Amino acid sequence: MKLADLVKELSLEVKTCKDGLQRDVDSGYVSDLLSDVLANSAKDNIWITLQTHINIVAVASVKGLAGIIIVASRQPQEDTLKKAKVEKIPIMTTTKSAFEVAGKIYQLLK
Amino acid sequence: MLNTNSIPLDKLIVEGIFPLVGGNFAKAGEASIHLKQKLTELGLNEDIVRRAAIVTFEAEMNVIIYAVAGWLHYYVTPRQIKIIVQDMGHGIENIELALQEGYSTAPPWVKEMGWGSGMGLPNMKRTSDEFKIDSVVGEGTTVEMIIYLNNVKAQNK
């Protein structure tokens, strides 16, 4: 499924890389521990987290993740957005909880 | 693509140094991204590059979280990628304990960032083919990790 379709289905707010939404998402990973994401996420995963600081961008970049959804109305910090633009990592936000977002995406990708 | 048949296995193809600064969270991951780019340019297999990037990121984080400064050195031969991360930090008192999954001495604010969950050293050990750690309390820590390149591992085992 295209990232753009996920954005539409979940009414996500796109914060960076609006032109990077044609990426394919094949699965997802939910975690707020960055070492866990480094170890266990896979390429082209959509990452669901409540972390908002700059390091999420490098983690997503190194792992080749399709994008980051920040949940529960949390907002990415300024330097996070700046770095995401440089590394071309789409960041999206939502008011929904990680549980809801993961559940919906799981249904969509099934 | 590296042609491992035509070059002696121990011939150095690429090497590099990347400086690391303790406490500089804004730069975290840059050494890893740098190495990932270098290895991708060499045409190395995606899984090898991914593993090198993971261990480098974790080693880099340890310098940023716990040390004053450090260096990443990497050496690529047709046989392997060797990654050495050396720091000037307070060192590790009990290495065996530090290698235990879930053991961490990180302060609460680092944990809130999602780091310091006691997964770093175990991740590095698990993801590399060879892992060595040496630490002197009050001086610093050196981690050496080797990742074998494709099919070379099979030949040597």
Which amino acid is present at A27?
A: S
Cβ burial A37-50 (10 Å sphere, 16+ → b, else e): bbbebeebbbbbbb
Instruction: Please give the Cα distance from A107 to B3 (Å, whole number).
Output: 44
At A71, the pLDDT band (50, 70, 90 cuts) reads: very high
Q: How many CB atoms lie within 10 A of CB A8?
A: 11
Instruction: Please give the Cα distance from A24 to A49 (Å, whole number).
Output: 19
Residue B14 lies in a domain: no
Structural domains of chain A, with CATH: 3-109 (3.40.1390.20)
Chain B within 8 Å of A22 (Cβ-Cβ)?
no
> How does pLDDT run across B116-125, given as a tens digit for each residue?
999 999 999 9
Residue B121 lies in a domain: yes
Instruction: Please give the Cα distance from B112 to A36 (Å, whole number).
Output: 14
> How does pLDDT run across B93-102, given as a tens digit for each residue?
999 999 999 9
Residue B117 lies in a domain: yes
DSSP A13-39: EE-S-GGGTT-B--EEEE-S-HHHHHH
Inter-chain touch A38–B54, beta carbons under 8 Å: yes
Q: Which of residues 73-102 of A touch B (CB under 8 A)?
A: 79, 87
DSSP classification of residue A12: P
Residue B9 lies in a domain: no
CATH number for B136: 3.30.565.10
Inter-chain touch A35–B25, beta carbons under 8 Å: no
Tell me, what's the pLDDT at A34? 98
> Looking at residues B41-50, what average pLDDT do you find?
95
Residue B12 lies in a domain: no
Contacting residues of A for B26, CB less than 8 Å apart: 54, 79
Preferred mutation among A35, A45, A53, A82 to probe B, highest tally of B CBs within 10 A: A35
Tell me, what's the pLDDT at B6? 73
Range of the domain at B93: 21-156
Tell me, what's the pLDDT at B155? 44
At B9, the pLDDT band (50, 70, 90 cuts) reads: confident
Residue B13 lies in a domain: no
> How does pLDDT run across B135-156, given as a tens digit for each residue?
999 999 999 999 999 755 444 4
Residue B100 lies in a domain: yes
Q: What is the ipTM of this complex?
A: 0.92
Residue B103 lies in a domain: yes
Place of tokens 């480094």: A38
The total of structural domains in chain B comes to: 1
Please give, rounded to a whole number of angstroms, the shortest distance from the CA of B51 to a CA of chain A: 9
Preferred mutation among A62, A82, A83 to probe B, highest tally of B CBs within 10 A: A62
Q: Are strands B140-148 and B80-89 parallel, antiparallel or unpaired?
A: antiparallel
